[in-house]
Amino acid sequence: MGGLFSEMFLGALLFGAVTAAVPLLLAGLGEQMSEKAGVLNIGIEGMMIFGAYIGFVAAFYSESLWLGFLAGAAGGIFVAAIMALLCVRLGLNQIVIGIGLTLGFEGLTALLHHFQFSRTYPRLPAAEATVVPLLADIPVLGAALFRHHLLVYLAVLLVPVMSYIYRRTQLGLNLQAAGDKPAALDVAGVDVVGTRTIAVLTTGALAGIGGAYLANVGAGIFVPFVTNGAGFLGVVLAMLARGRPLWVLLGALVFGLCLSLTTALQVAGINIPTDVIQMIPFLAVMIMLVAFGRRSSLPAALGIPYERGAR
């Protein structure tokens, strides 16, 4: 019995925290872009679960995790394309379509899984880690932070990239304007619908990759409803981050730690029922929302479809 705070427990806890944080980070960054552009993307849970399923199928048959991530992105984009067509181009209610897409793809993937895998429940082999030289040799932290799949580092790298896009590029400014004052963007000669479409499709790609990572690396298996609200947690992160990618990363790590705690406590054989442990991440969300909810600022035109000439 090594006790709660043995090195091994701590290492496993931190390693799990990073693994659990990656899908949340990708979903949060994606949702952030949608929200910046004025689209409240409740369908992100559907994009994630479809990305997870397609990504799992691709990785299972091709035996390549990278093809899995690519397919996951394609799956997410597919759902996002429906959302973009209906909510951005036609201007349908984003919440209604978002609920519809989430329910529909949760049901669809569960159904497909039943017909394909419910007898075998195949697993993927453990993901190969990319070891960061030198840093990986730091006791405890090294193994926890620097022995992950390459995608993890890429996902973290996405944070400064996003910051750069929002602060320094024309596209970033356009995205912001599409969410805050779409009419002004239109007058400036930029296609509002096009800008928002880019944002939603990017969200789909990131959410899809996140879903594929969650299923293929995090769980090693696809089961129905495997994302279990990870997409919704991404929406929370985007709300709390107030447009800053770095805050999404920090929030994702906090929630990731809570999620990791649920498995680590079970593995450590702590005598608390699983249902109590499973409440930890969502409890953390509610506490964060109560504490910081007031300061979550959202773009002015969030949720409002843009129609040229409409008042």
Residues forming the site for other proteins (CB under 8 A): 42, 86, 90-93, 95-97, 99-108, 110-112, 114-115, 224, 228-229, 232, 235-236, 239, 273, 275-276, 278-279, 282-283, 285-286, 289-290, 293-294, 296, 298, 305
If the CB atoms of residues 100 and 204 are measured against other proteins, the closer one turns out to be: 100
Coil, strand or helix at 131: strand
In the complex, what is the shortest distance from the CB of residue 92 to other proteins, in angstroms, rounded to a whole number? 5
Q: What are the CA-CA distances from residue 168 to residues 161, 171, 189 (Å)?
A: 10, 9, 20
Residue 27: count of CB within 10 angstroms of its CB: 37
DSSP H/E element including 102: helix 94-117
DSSP symbol at 273: -
Pick 78 or 282: Cβ nearer other proteins: 282
- With beta carbons less than 8 A apart as the criterion, state whether 79 and 204 touch: yes
Give the nearest distance from C-beta 93 to other proteins in angstroms: 5
Nearer to other proteins, 37 or 143 (CB): 37
Q: How far is CA 163 from CA 7, 81, 171, 209, in A?
A: 35, 25, 12, 20
Minimum separation from the CB atom of position 108 to other proteins (A): 5
CB of 236 vs other proteins, minimal distance in Å = 6
CB of 27 to other proteins, least distance (A): 13
Distance CA 122, CA 118 (A): 9
Shortest Å, Cβ 295 to other proteins: 9
Judged by beta carbon, residue 93 or residue 169, the one nearer other proteins is 93
Nearer to other proteins (CB atom), residue 11 or residue 38: 38
Cβ(45)–Cβ(236) under 8 Å? no
Share of the chain residues as helix, strand and coil, in percent rounded to the nearest 5: 75, 0, 25
Select 156 or 193, whichever has its Cβ closest to other proteins: 193
Q: 110 vs 140, which CB is nearer to other proteins?
A: 110
Total residue length of the chain? 311
Q: At closest approach, how far in Å is the CB of 182 from other proteins? A: 15
Q: Which is nearer to other proteins, 6 or 93 (CB)?
A: 93
CB of 233 to other proteins, least distance (A): 8
Question: Closest by alpha carbon to 32, among 251, 187, 305, 306?
Answer: 251
Query: Would the CA dihedral through 302, 306, 309, 310 be positive or negative?
Result: negative
- Distance (Å, whole) CA 247 – CA 257: 15
Of 214, 232, 210, the closest CA to residue 223 belongs to 214
